[in-house]
Chains A and B, each alone.
Chain A
């Protein structure tokens, strides 16, 4: 985004246009990140909305301390997603949501995609916390390695290693399905 710093500064002082632009710029990416983390499309919609209300409450206290605004915003999303997962785990019904399937996809291949999603989500549950986080940020939010590193507070090298090990683990989980195919 061009001149994000200027935009964020304007948003901090309550400029409604700047706040609206930040919302439009980030909403879809935040939504996809949360969808991957919580595995439910409906919950992701709800939580993504909360992320931006939280942003509104806290943006005046945001300070540039070497951390980009996007990292700050994704941390809010991370915290809300983790809270949500904790609550669901307490209630004992952490289930995968089939509504994650892409609605626009060709019906002829819908079954295959849904299967992929289910297996992917099941496989993601087997990953470590850090691996899951990196996968959600890289493939859900589409962040670069450098951006992901800033969000998770690790070096780029560590992120590269995490995404590598995550893909290896995923491959193992999905290999039986791939062989059948």
Chain B
């Protein structure tokens, strides 16, 4: 049997399955018709014999069982997700408490001055993460993000002073992330009012504590032209966060 014939047979079978008649297939290949016809007739018989449909009542019952299983799965996932989130939070909290117990509060205090690349820097960011998990309100979270944004700016300034410019993009990324989160938490679309008290508190912190450091960053933009794109990005994110708070009505102090 030649491969050429198998190819022709396959093409005819494909057409037969799609609903073309045996005669139409044979008309396409008159030279192979004699060899093709008996096989196509058998194929047609197989196709027709296989054209069974499930009984509607049993199909409906199977669908019902499937839908029930889907619904059960959804509930299980929800419960599992909730339990896992809380288990994870508590596990981390316990880990931090243990760390404090073993290493002492002085370790955490010492980590406050650490910079990316230092041994204690993961302790610093880990403690920030845990503090964030336990903030329950949007305003509380936004205030923490503002504090941590300020820390990132201070770190950027110190790391540039230490002449480690390769660490700057990573820090800017984290800074922008904090500022974006502030925008999401206490900013609002035009015309939508956010709790002015929360927005105002965050804005006050940004203006009083973060703005002076932002000015230092602007000076560094001039001194370190190679870092300008990253630093400009940081400044833009800061401006956006402030604008978002004011747009939502948080500017009234």
**Could you list which residues of chain A lie within 8 angstroms of chain B, going by C-beta atoms?**
14, 16, 19-20, 23, 27-28, 31-32, 35-36, 41, 44-45, 48-49, 52-53, 56, 100, 102-104, 113, 116-117, 120-121, 135-136, 138-140, 142, 144-145, 157, 160-161, 163-164, 167-168, 170-171, 174, 178
Contact = CB atoms under 8 A, between A and B. Distances in A.
Given A52-B62, A52-B66, A171-B38, A41 B9 contact: no
Nearest to A104: B53
Contacts of B54: 27-28, 31, 41, 44-45, 48
Nearest to B76: A14
A113 B83 CA distance: 57
A145 to B, nearest CB: 6
9 contacts: A16-B70, A45-B54, A48-B54, A52-B62, A102-B51, A138-B17, A142-B17, A164-B39, A171-B38
Given A16-B70, A139-B43, A27 B48 contact: no
Looking at B45, B49, B71, the one whose CB has the most chain A CB atoms below 10 A away is B49
A139 B62 contact: no
Contacts of A163: 9-10, 13
Interface residues on B, range: 35 or more
Contacts of B51: 32, 102
A56 B71 CA distance: 11
Contacts of B50: 32, 35-36, 136, 139-140
B14 A170 contact: no
Contacts of B14: 144-145
Contacts of B77: 14
Contacts of A28: 53-54
B34 interface: no
Contacts of A121: 49
B9 A164 contact: yes
B141 to A, nearest CB: 26
Given A44-B54, A100-B52, A116-B48, A56 B38 contact: no
A53 B66 contact: yes
B6 interface: yes
B31 to A, nearest CB: 17
Contact of A16 (B10, B46, B61, B71): B71
B79 interface: no
Given A14-B77, A171-B39, A23 B63 contact: yes
B70 A56 contact: yes
A48 B47 contact: no
Contacts of A27: 54, 59, 62-63
B101 to A, nearest CB: 38
B62 A49 contact: yes
B7 interface: yes
A23 B39 contact: no
B119 interface: no
B42 interface: yes
Interface in B168-198: none
A138 B16 CA distance: 11
Contacts of B42: 167, 170-171, 174
Contacts of A116: 45, 48-49
B67 interface: yes
10 closest cross-chain pairs (CB), A and B: A49-B62, A160-B6, A167-B39, A140-B50, A139-B46, A117-B49, A45-B58, A120-B49, A139-B50, A160-B10
Interface in B148-177: none
A45 B6 contact: no
B17 A48 contact: no
Contact of B65 (A49, A104, A174): A49
Contacts of B53: 28, 31, 102-104
A167 B62 contact: no
